[in-house]
Chains A and B, each alone.
Chain A
Amino acid sequence: METKQLSRVDLIFKPEGKEIELLKKKLNEDGDDFILELIDSGLKGRGGAGFLTGLKWKLAREAKADQKYVICNADEGEPGTFKDREILERVPRKVFTGMALCGHIVGATKGYIYLRAEYKYLAPKLKKCMADLNDEFKKIGLEFTLDIRYGSGAYVCGEETALIESMEGKRGEPRNKPPFPVTEGYLNKPTVVNNVETFVNTMIISEIGFKEYKKLGTDHSRGMKLFSISGDAVKEGIFELELGMSLADFVEEFGDGDTKAVQVGGASGFCVPRKKFKETIIGFEGIPTGGSMKIFNSSRSMYNVLHNYLDFFQEESCGQCTPCRVGCQQLLLGIEAVKRRERPSSYLDELMKLADTMKISAKCGLGQSVGNAFVSIIENFREEIVY
Chain B
Amino acid sequence: MINLTINNIPLSVEEGTTVLDAARQLNLRIPTLCYHEDLCIAGNCRVCVVEQVGMRNLLASCATPVRENMQILTNSMKVRQARKNIIELLLSEHNSDCTKCYKNGNCELQTMANEYRTGNHIYTDLIPLKHNKVDVSSPSIMKDDSKCIRCQRCVRTCAELQGVNALAVAHKGHEMKISSFYDKPMHEVVCTNCGQCINRCPTGALVERNYIEEVWNAIYDPTKHVAVQTAPAVRVALGEELGFEVGERVTGKMVAALRRLGFNSVLDTDFTADLTIMEEGTELLTRLKKALVDKDQSVTLPMTTSCSPGWIKFIEHTYPNLLPNVSTCKSPQQMFGALVKTYYAQKKNINPKDIVSVSIMPCTAKKFEAQRPEMRDSGYQDVDYVLTTRELAIMIKQAGIEFLKLEDEKFDRFMGDSTGAAVIFGATGGVMEAALRTAYELVTGREVPFENLNITPVRGMEGVREASVTIANVLPEWSFLEGVELKCAIAHGLANAHKLMAAVESGDANYHFIEVMACPGGCLGGGGQPIPTSPEIRNKRAKAIYAEDEGLPMRKSHENPEVTQIYEEFLGHPLGHKSHELLHTHYRARKRY
Q: Mark B159-181, 1 if CB is under 8 A from A, else 0.
A: 00000000001011111100000
Q: How far is the CB of A379 from chain B (nearest CB, A)?
A: 18
* Contacts of A297-319 to chain B: CB distance below 8 A: 313-319
Q: Mark B47-61, 1 if CB is under 8 A from A, else 0.
A: 101000000111010
Quick check: A326 and B44 within 8 Å, CB to CB? no
The CB with the most chain A CB atoms within 10 A, among B63, B85, B86, is that of: B85
Quick check: A320 and B152 within 8 Å, CB to CB? yes
Chain B residue, CB-CB nearest to A314? B174
Q: How far is the CB of B188 from chain A (nearest CB, A)?
A: 23
Known: A320-B152, A322-B89, A333-B124. A328 touches B174 (CB 8 A): yes
Contact with A316, one of B47, B123, B173 (Cβ below 8 angstroms): B173
* Contacts of B124-144 to chain A: CB distance below 8 A: 124, 126, 129
Known: A316-B173, A327-B89. A322 touches B46 (CB 8 A): yes
Contact residues in B for A314 (Cβ distance below 8 Å): 173-174
The CB with the most chain B CB atoms within 10 A, among A178, A326, A330, is that of: A326
* Contacts of A329-374 to chain B: CB distance below 8 A: 329-330, 333-334, 337, 350, 353-354, 356-357, 359-363, 368
Quick check: B63 and A176 within 8 Å, CB to CB? yes
Quick check: B173 and A328 within 8 Å, CB to CB? yes
Quick check: A330 and B89 within 8 Å, CB to CB? yes
Question: In the complex the two chains form, what is the Cα distance from A363 to B122 in whole Å?
Answer: 23
Asked whether any CB of chain B lies closer than 8 Å to the CB of A8, the reply is: no
Known: A176-B60, A322-B46, A363-B44. A357 touches B123 (CB 8 A): no
Asked whether any CB of chain B lies closer than 8 Å to the CB of A216, the reply is: no
Quick check: A325 and B150 within 8 Å, CB to CB? yes
Q: How far is the CB of B209 from chain A (nearest CB, A)?
A: 28
Quick check: B90 and A322 within 8 Å, CB to CB? yes
Contact residues in A for B41 (Cβ distance below 8 Å): 176
Asked whether any CB of chain A lies closer than 8 Å to the CB of B43, the reply is: yes
Chain A residue, CB-CB nearest to B55? A360
Chain B residue, CB-CB nearest to A318? B172
Question: In the complex the two chains form, what is the Cα distance from A354 to B123 in whole Å?
Answer: 10
Q: How far is the CB of A46 from chain B (nearest CB, A)?
A: 23
Chain A residue, CB-CB nearest to B47? A322
Asked whether any CB of chain A lies closer than 8 Å to the CB of B369, the reply is: no
Asked whether any CB of chain B lies closer than 8 Å to the CB of A247, the reply is: no
Contact residues in B for A313 (Cβ distance below 8 Å): 173
Asked whether any CB of chain B lies closer than 8 Å to the CB of A224, the reply is: no
Quick check: B173 and A357 within 8 Å, CB to CB? no
Asked whether any CB of chain A lies closer than 8 Å to the CB of B324, the reply is: no
Asked whether any CB of chain B lies closer than 8 Å to the CB of A171, the reply is: yes
Chain A residue, CB-CB nearest to B62? A176
Quick check: A337 and B86 within 8 Å, CB to CB? no
Contact with A326, one of B47, B57, B81, B90 (Cβ below 8 angstroms): B90
Quick check: A323 and B78 within 8 Å, CB to CB? no
Q: How far is the CB of B282 from chain A (nearest CB, A)?
A: 48
Contact residues in A for B176 (Cβ distance below 8 Å): 317-320, 325
Chain A residue, CB-CB nearest to B126? A329
Decide if the interface of chain A is mainly helix, strand, loop or mixed. helix
Quick check: B172 and A156 within 8 Å, CB to CB? yes
Known: A323-B86, A325-B173, A325-B174. A363 touches B60 (CB 8 A): yes
Quick check: B58 and A316 within 8 Å, CB to CB? no
Question: In the complex the two chains form, what is the Cα distance from A274 to B176 in whole Å?
Answer: 38
Quick check: A360 and B44 within 8 Å, CB to CB? no
Question: In the complex the two chains form, what is the Cα distance from A171 to B178 in whole Å?
Answer: 13
Q: Mark B169-201, 1 if CB is under 8 A from A, else 0.
A: 101111110000000000000000000000000
Contact residues in B for A357 (Cβ distance below 8 Å): 81-82, 85-86
Quick check: A319 and B171 within 8 Å, CB to CB? yes
Chain B residue, CB-CB nearest to A333? B124
Question: In the complex the two chains form, what is the Cα distance from A285 to B551 in whole Å?
Answer: 75
Question: In the complex the two chains form, what is the Cα distance from A361 to B81 in whole Å?
Answer: 11
Contact residues in A for B150 (Cβ distance below 8 Å): 319-320, 322, 325
Quick check: B58 and A315 within 8 Å, CB to CB? no
Quick check: B86 and A317 within 8 Å, CB to CB? no
Question: In the complex the two chains form, what is the Cα distance from A357 to B51 in whole Å?
Answer: 12
Question: In the complex the two chains form, what is the Cα distance from A350 to B42 in whole Å?
Answer: 28
* Contacts of B26-73 to chain A: CB distance below 8 A: 41-47, 49, 56-58, 60, 63-65
Contact with B46, one of A178, A330, A334, A363 (Cβ below 8 angstroms): A363
Asked whether any CB of chain B lies closer than 8 Å to the CB of A55, the reply is: no
Question: In the complex the two chains form, what is the Cα distance from A229 to B366 in whole Å?
Answer: 64
Asked whether any CB of chain A lies closer than 8 Å to the CB of B93, the reply is: yes
Contact with A322, one of B44, B56, B57, B65 (Cβ below 8 angstroms): B44
Quick check: B49 and A361 within 8 Å, CB to CB? yes
Asked whether any CB of chain B lies closer than 8 Å to the CB of A9, the reply is: no
Quick check: A360 and B58 within 8 Å, CB to CB? yes
Asked whether any CB of chain B lies closer than 8 Å to the CB of A267, the reply is: no
Contact residues in A for B175 (Cβ distance below 8 Å): 315, 319
Quick check: A368 and B57 within 8 Å, CB to CB? yes
How big is chain B's contact interface, by range? 35 or more
Asked whether any CB of chain A lies closer than 8 Å to the CB of B92, the reply is: yes
Contact residues in A for B126 (Cβ distance below 8 Å): 326, 329, 333
Contact residues in B for A315 (Cβ distance below 8 Å): 172-175
Quick check: B63 and A361 within 8 Å, CB to CB? no
Contact residues in B for A323 (Cβ distance below 8 Å): 46, 82, 85-86, 89
Q: Mark A169-211, 1 if CB is under 8 A from B, else 0.
A: 0010000101000000000000000000000000000000000
Contact residues in A for B58 (Cβ distance below 8 Å): 360-361
Q: How far is the CB of B323 from chain A (nearest CB, A)?
A: 31
Question: In the complex the two chains form, what is the Cα distance from A353 to B126 in whole Å?
Answer: 19
Quick check: B56 and A360 within 8 Å, CB to CB? yes
Q: How far is the CB of B361 from chain A (nearest CB, A)?
A: 34
Q: How far is the CB of B148 from chain A (nearest CB, A)?
A: 12
Question: In the complex the two chains form, what is the Cα distance from A281 to B171 in whole Å?
Answer: 39
Asked whether any CB of chain B lies closer than 8 Å to the CB of A245, the reply is: no
Question: In the complex the two chains form, what is the Cα distance from A326 to B92 in whole Å?
Answer: 8
Asked whether any CB of chain B lies closer than 8 Å to the CB of A22, the reply is: no
Asked whether any CB of chain B lies closer than 8 Å to the CB of A321, the reply is: yes
Contact with B45, one of A171, A321, A333 (Cβ below 8 angstroms): A321
Question: In the complex the two chains form, what is the Cα distance from A171 to B156 in whole Å?
Answer: 14
Quick check: A350 and B122 within 8 Å, CB to CB? yes
Question: In the complex the two chains form, what is the Cα distance from A318 to B173 in whole Å?
Answer: 5
Quick check: B93 and A326 within 8 Å, CB to CB? yes
Question: In the complex the two chains form, what is the Cα distance from A274 to B149 in whole Å?
Answer: 42
Q: How far is the CB of A210 from chain B (nearest CB, A)?
A: 30
Quick check: B57 and A360 within 8 Å, CB to CB? yes
Q: How far is the CB of B241 from chain A (nearest CB, A)?
A: 30
Contact with B86, one of A316, A318, A350, A361 (Cβ below 8 angstroms): A361
Contact residues in B for A356 (Cβ distance below 8 Å): 81
Contact residues in A for B124 (Cβ distance below 8 Å): 329-330, 333-334, 337
Quick check: A316 and B45 within 8 Å, CB to CB? no
Chain B residue, CB-CB nearest to A154? B172
Q: How far is the CB of A292 from chain B (nearest CB, A)?
A: 21
Question: In the complex the two chains form, what is the Cα distance from A383 to B181 in whole Å?
Answer: 47
Quick check: A353 and B45 within 8 Å, CB to CB? no
Quick check: A326 and B89 within 8 Å, CB to CB? yes
Contact residues in A for B122 (Cβ distance below 8 Å): 350
Known: A176-B43, A326-B90. A360 touches B171 (CB 8 A): no
Question: In the complex the two chains form, what is the Cα distance from A354 to B171 in whole Å?
Answer: 24
Chain B residue, CB-CB nearest to A350? B122
Quick check: B173 and A353 within 8 Å, CB to CB? no
Quick check: A361 and B172 within 8 Å, CB to CB? no
Question: In the complex the two chains form, what is the Cα distance from A353 to B45 in whole Å?
Answer: 18
Question: In the complex the two chains form, what is the Cα distance from A314 to B149 in whole Å?
Answer: 16
Question: In the complex the two chains form, what is the Cα distance from A353 to B83 in whole Å?
Answer: 12
Chain A residue, CB-CB nearest to B41? A176
13 contacts between A and B (CB under 8 A): A315-B173, A317-B176, A322-B86, A322-B90, A323-B82, A323-B85, A326-B89, A330-B92, A353-B81, A354-B123, A357-B82, A361-B82, A363-B43
Please provide the 5 A-B residue pairs with the shortest distance between their CB atoms, ordered closest to farther. Answer: A319-B176, A326-B89, A176-B63, A357-B85, A176-B43
Known contacts A322-B47, A363-B46, then 13 further A-B pairs from the complex at CB < 8 Å, ordered by chain A residue: A156-B172, A178-B64, A315-B173, A318-B172, A319-B172, A321-B44, A322-B90, A326-B90, A328-B173, A333-B129, A360-B49, A363-B44, A363-B60
